[in-house]
Chain A
């Protein structure tokens, strides 16, 4: 079955759930899952397709969240425009960071991106006068368009899923072309890719930048939806969680990652009493997936699609 038909089926399921679900708790949880899906879809392009790790993506989500919130609060810029500007700025920062770091090989890249994520977090913690530091940033306005305000969970649910699935479609289309083949070539044999005309470093930087823009956009939407952000939502554990989602979903499988993202976003909320243990569970899941499910949920989905 074509991935796009599969995507259409998922869109219908999402829409029907949005109409019939009545619990604000569930709607809000699923809306947040959609925002997470934006991040993991971007990370999947980078990690799953191109084979380049980032252990600092929560930092880029934070960049998007803080920059768009601050633009709206301090400069009274329209929230949509704030998100747009913040996404552009984060992408620029992503490109500047990506250019040198993507020359590094696997575990050095992992360490560099981990450090970058932490530096962003420390900067936010430290600049109390601007970001509110550990206290966080409050009174972030709500998103509205043509007098229609996203003031309840159902409205935002639809908007978040519409955005996430649109970006999923963009990513699927992109990877179903020569560009997707180029990325996979880089992932498996860099030298051969280079010999066949693929500018490996440039492609890596572009995909990194794209995945940063996805992360930043998700961050911006998160800030305006929740109305409050603090550095604790964007730590190293969040970065690792994104990687776990991509690995469990099956690197390079958009639908596998869609499901792992939904499941892993929902589980900690259902077992909320065990919240402190979640990072440990994440660690186990990662090890388990690496050992027993090297392809994650990918196999399952290629089977369903047939």
Chain B
């Protein structure tokens, strides 16, 4: 397996007013691995995702994706480089049906122009058909293609989580950032999710996973990083993390 580093965070710091949400965090994600990020509520995990995806600016530190310094890119340019994400608080587009929601993930890969659209050109039809097919194929991959024509408000919470995932997958990501994909899922949904995560990983996608479900994390991660109070307090293989004193203390309190 290729073990080169695909994402490299160095000394990332982010303050909200007086609060150090992320405090000098460094992290390397290796290509082709499932790297997890765990930690108690408010540890700064989502904030770190928002910094990587350029939604928040950082106060200091640097981020490299392969050999690109992400400081030089805007949020909307990352998907083209192969970085896709899901959101902890589900962010589906309410006024579009499910396949249209998912197709947003291929927006930048399509090359029909506005003029193509206005004139209904052959090129337009070709790309639009392809985008729809790809969205539905991705839904099929997740075994939820029957939802294609429903609207977000008409589907269950667990399925909404999967749609979030489908939308990211459709962009053919190199690096997939998942923010608590199992939160709110029941046990059977979570075990399905575990299988899905493996199937995505098998396709060669590198995954950075934030998750509270320890069972899921321990079962799928190659490496686990632990954050608490903005700081990274430990990193290692699941077996190491499970027995790490600092980690146990962070989770159990004093």
Contacts and interface: CB of A to CB of B under 8 A. Distances in A.
B206 interface: no
B105 to A, nearest CB: 6
Contacts of A187: 93, 95
Contacts, number: 95
- The main secondary structure of chain B at its interface with chain A is helix
Contact of B114 (A179, A195, A198): A179
Contacts of A74: none
A188 B95 contact: yes
B100 A199 contact: no
Contact of A194 (B75, B84, B117): B75
Interface string B161-175: 000000100010000
A178 B134 CA distance: 13
Interface stretch (B57-65, B124-132, B194-202, B224-232): B124-132
A196 B118 contact: no
A63 B16 CA distance: 45
B110 interface: yes
Contact of B80 (A173, A197, A252): A197
Interface residue range, chain B = 35 or more
B185 interface: no
A181 interface: yes
B91 A197 contact: no
Given A191-B55, A191-B91, A196-B167, A182 B118 contact: no
Interface in A169-187: 170, 173-174, 176-179, 181-182, 184-185, 187
Interface in A196-225: 196-200
Contacts of A173: 117-120
B46 to A, nearest CB: 12
B117 A195 contact: no
Nearest to B164: A192
Contacts of A110: none
B110 A178 contact: yes
Nearest to A199: B76
A176 B105 CA distance: 16
Contacts of B119: 173
Interface of B: 53, 55, 74-80, 84-85, 87, 91-96, 100, 103-108, 110, 112, 114, 116-120, 124, 127-128, 131, 167, 171
Interface of A: 170, 173-174, 176-179, 181-182, 184-185, 187-189, 191-200, 252
